[in-house]
Structure 1
Amino acid sequence: MTLRHRLSALALALSAFAPAAAGAGHHCRDVDHLSGTYTVCTFDPALEAMRIYGVPDGSREPATYGALRDRLRDDREALLFGMNAGMYHPDYSPVGLLVENGKERSPLNRADGRGNFFLKPNGVFFVGRGAAGVMETGAFAAARPEATYATQSGPMLVIDGAIHPRFLPQGDSLNIRNGVGILPDGRVAFAISRRPVRFHDFATLFRDHLGCRNALYLDGSISSLYAPEVRRNDRLAQMGTVVAVVGTLPY
């Protein structure tokens, strides 16, 4: 292949990673639901590499999208999508289960406590062998599905088609929120609100608008998104756990 042809091929490959105009992404779109607007990004775990990363062992620094991009680039990989994916302690270690590349880095947490993580039922988002799921913590513990990647968070938003029993339609707790649900065809839907919303409205987005029978809350005040195709890069976000969709960089 001539140098000219190699450069043309490289330019074509790089164009796959170029950001599209806002609202025109292949995976991401804006959705209006009740009183809020949400960015919803959907991916097929059978076709796209979906992973969950915690902070490196021994590190007391938060995870950031920039650091994860650099880490992936060393392996000739590209970060195509990212979202914060679970609650963490002050040292950025996960509050609950974290499975990364088949290794359990933090165990399942079934304890009682205060805060959103312990607003039971809470649950687990997991990925393994071309499929993904969201399960309530007790059901996950009983079934122990194969999970190459997993993160535990809470509360559950939708449990087997039912809205979490503690959510009130007129609740006054408003926050930017993000979460994950499984669509009827097995694809994974990630959503983040554009402005503060109540838990109940966020849960009905997954159940009534997206058709998810199970969905999990990932967090609130630290909610963030990395989605170049819609020109979204919350570069100041500091996280304990990140869910990522990864592609291969062209040579």
Structure 2
Amino acid sequence: MPRFFNILLFILPFSFTPDNHDCPFPESNRLVHDTTFVDHIGEITFTYNGQQYDAIVVNPSVSDISLHWLSNDQTPYKSIQVLRDVLLEKKKDILMITNGGMFMKNNIPVGLFISSGRELRPLDTATDQPGNFYMQPNGVFYLDNTGAHVSTTADYLKRSGKHNKIVHATQSGPMLISNGVINGKFNPASVNRNLRSGVGILPNGNVVFIISKEAQTAFYDFAAIFKARFGCKDALYLDGAISKMYLKKGRPDELNGDFGAIIAVTAR
């Protein structure tokens, strides 16, 4: 079945050549609201297979991506607004804040959580538990001094003692794409549709965060977006129905939530 794709940029327009099976909507449907888009950097709103998505593409060499869970008094931030207020007090220019993975009772992250070089939660290597987190393969989004990475949990376990010190990390699942291949457990014909959020690594090392606008996205379609539209070889699912994303321009009022790990992107 053909997949129709229309992209609405809230950045600078760029030349885009769709796959042969896609049919783009007329150029008049492309709405441009600012001129900050350079080499796929910044906020993007687009439609894929009839559903609308918001995204932000970030260059980790010029923007800071950080993981947050506990405040100075060792209580969870929980909401986007609480973390945003703390970052604003520090005079940070906030580009994005979103929930960064699944969590247990009392907002405790499930699996690995590293913030500012401190491992606060260990890697979870279980493979036989229920729930999306344990759908295999699951994975880790992490940052070290070479950049941002997404890998399967198994690969992270092999590499963790070999690469540079990890500064920030969060574990989640399932992997949407691994080594360029969409997760084989996803069914293109699935009727299991929900709100989806995730993170992927572009070929140039940039990072894309994507969230659906409605609870109408299947896992397969969500993974296909990262691969077909952003060229990601590795992408990780962050969460579903509860997901929120604050974007400086496109979603400035999305400030609530009740989360464990939270990801922030700030300008340097």
Query: Do both proteins adopt the same fold according to a TM-score greater than 0.5, normalized to the shorter chain?
Result: yes
Q: Which of 135, 146, 158 is 1:142 aligned to?
A: 158
Structure 1 residues 36-88: Cα deviation after superposition (integer angstroms, max 9, x where no partner): 22112100001111101113377565521211122223333242211111000
Paired residue for 1:222? 242
| 1:120-139 correspondence runs (5 A) | 120-129=136-145, 131-139=147-155
Structure 1 residues 129-183: Cα deviation after superposition (integer angstroms, max 9, x where no partner): 2510100000001011432000000000001011111100011111010000001
TM-score (normalizing by structure 1): 0.85
Q: Which of 91, 95, 98 is 1:76 aligned to?
A: 91
Q: Give the superposition deviation at 1:35.
A: 3.1
| 1:96-115 correspondence runs (5 A) | 96-111=111-126, 112-115=128-131
Structure 1 residues 192-249: Cα deviation after superposition (integer angstroms, max 9, x where no partner): 111220000000001112110000000001111100222433222221111101236x
Q: Give the superposition deviation at 1:189.
A: 0.5
Instruction: Return closer, same or farther for 1:130/1:65 CA change in 2, 3 Å cut-off.
Output: farther
Q: Which of 44, 51, 54 is 1:29 aligned to?
A: 44
Instruction: Return closer, same or farther for 1:61/1:170 CA change in 2, 3 Å cut-off.
Output: same
2:57 is the counterpart of 1:38: no
2:78 is the counterpart of 1:63: yes
Q: Is the 8 A contact 1:36 1:193 kept in 2?
A: yes
Instruction: Return closer, same or farther for 1:71/1:178 CA change in 2, 3 Å cut-off.
Output: same
Q: Which runs of 5+ in 2 are unaligned?
A: 1-9, 12-30, 37-41
Tell me the distance in 2 between the aligned counterparts of 1:165 and 1:124: 18
Q: Is the 8 A contact 1:174 1:197 kept in 2?
A: yes
Q: Which runs of 5+ in 1 are unaligned?
A: 1-18
2:225 is the counterpart of 1:205: yes
Bigger relative contact order, structure 1 or 2 (CA pairs below 8 A, ≥6 apart): 1
Moved over 6 A (4+): none
Q: Which of 176, 190, 209 is 1:190 aligned to?
A: 209
- Larger helix proportion, structure 1 or 2? 1
Q: Is the 8 A contact 2:60 2:147 kept in 1?
A: yes
Tell me the distance in 2 between the aligned counterparts of 1:57 and 1:173: 39
Q: Which of 162, 172, 176 is 1:153 aligned to?
A: 172
Q: What amino acid is aligned across from residue 209 of structure 1 in structure 2?
A: R
Paired residue for 1:175? 194
TM-score (normalizing by structure 2): 0.80
Alignment identity in percent? 33
